[in-house]
Chain A
Amino acid sequence: MRLFEYFLGNRPRTADAAKDRLKLIVVRDRAATGEGPDFLPMLQKDLIEVVRRYVDIDDDKVQVDVDRKDNLSMLEVNIELPGRFGPNS
């Protein structure tokens, strides 16, 4: 069966699942303990990657920030696109 999957090339790559799950849990752990490096750089890197699938932007055009209030935090994301986008352009 595995051999079959191998030839079909659709054998699941469990390492990808491991990485995705780790990214999420590590961010939650860090938030819960207040220890460890911030997840913002990781998020920023991911956002740049996603936006780049559609628009060609520089690394410094994506800004992420967390605004912490008493018992609520706001994630602020600023993405600057080159030129003007949208139907009226």
Chain B
Amino acid sequence: MSKTTTEILIIGAGLSGAVTALQLARSNIKVTCLEQGQWNNREDYPGDKPDFELLSMGPWHANPNVRKSPADYSILDDTSDIKPMLYNGVGGSTILYSAHWMRFLPSDFNVHSLDGVGKNWPINYHDLAPHYNQNDIDFGVSGIAGDPAYPDFPEYPMPPLPIQPWGERVANAHHKMGWHWWPGSNAIASLPYKGRRPCVQRSTCRAGCNEGAKGSVDQTHWPEAIACGAILKTGARVSRILLDQHGLACGALFKDASGNTHKIESEIVILASHAIGSAQLLLKSTSPKFPNGLANHSDQVGRNLMMHPLSRVIGFFDEPMMSWQGHWGQSIYSLEFAETRPEHDFVRGAKWNLSPSGGPLSAALYPIDESRCWGKPLHQRIDNWLGRSAVWGITAEDLPNRQNRLVLDPNFIDSNGDPTVRLIYKVSENSKRILKFMTAKAVQSFSEAGAHQTSASSLVTDNGWHALGTCRMGIDADQSVVNPWLQSHDVKNLYIVDGSVFVTSSSVNPAATIAALARRTAKYIIKSRSTIKRAKI
């Protein structure tokens, strides 16, 4: 077994790992990041190939159980209403994300005080605002500031991408109805930006961006972090976090791509392995001191899994709009129904984002209802859909429930001889009501915009791309896993910086908030470098 040492070990080179590594490396801290996947070459992404749609339904699928690449770990999902979607490799899930870049609303941090549900966050919008602002620059976000749904913040570094003909129609309709809408903010370059090319509107963002226009962290963060001295080891899957005799994390065991085990020792450990990967790793890292998993005296590790239930409404228009083109990020969004209202039969609400509708294979195969379609109706469906439709994606705010969780299932043993992670997740009654209400409203939105027909799917199961909450943040060590600086209550030199620390989910996309939290924690570690707890190695 080989042995190396580092000052700070980061596990996972995705969104949160990259943001953390860049901040630390810029401050000359010795950082090593272990990542189970590999680098991708932009030329290998299928977006500019004729079989793009076919490949994105297989080897580039966002569900690791479908994709089955060597970097993926299996996730048992037959006990979950929603299937997991993520990517394992340098860049993590930002390789496949649509790059909708949304801040939380101020109320999202206080849902218990305001609406009597969930829990309040121990931090607020204003604690994160400086980090949101700076990350907008680091990720290269395009958009326009001034949305009345938010407090004022600085202008984005680039103007918005075109909102597209379908965006203009819907924007006009919302204007008439007095409903909120705003041009999409996306971590996608609309101008040449720090060596990145502007978006070419190929609409293939969900399978990697061939142009490098999309702000995935393999483009935006890792090259600079490495230039500043960070070490990034790929093909390195961590199997255990190690604990010393003082109860401090002192490194990890990991396997290389050939299955050989190695040890790395470190003074501080930072978990950035995604809400599923991090909780899994903690649950696997048992010891006499932590028989139920590392840092889990609260029994909150793995619990409160939130998955952002989603529905989609498609609007069909008469005029050709080439709606297979255009960034897959949002053309416009609406927060009209994001907040609790007394007249609703649910609490909290949903965020809507308007997107293009894909190419002919999506038109032919997209599940719009339970019925099987072939023959003349299939031709009609393609004719109706291709180039002349747009999609409202509606994300319901998911509230924490301790029964929604991930566990290790001893009946299924993975290639390391460890039990496999299992998701146990049920869509709540509140979420179902939110989606029912929202789909009806989205139909109204499209009708007002001139759609001659709409089609709604009330719950899309293939959409678990926002897994959150499995190591939640809090003040009370009996009820949460990390404190407001994302430091474990139980293991003082262990930090968790990924989406697992979310207390509630908001209805907006999480990447901007994950990145802001990670940056804030990195700044805290840098500032308190001389005083924070470290293992002696």
Q: Do A and B come from one complex?
A: no
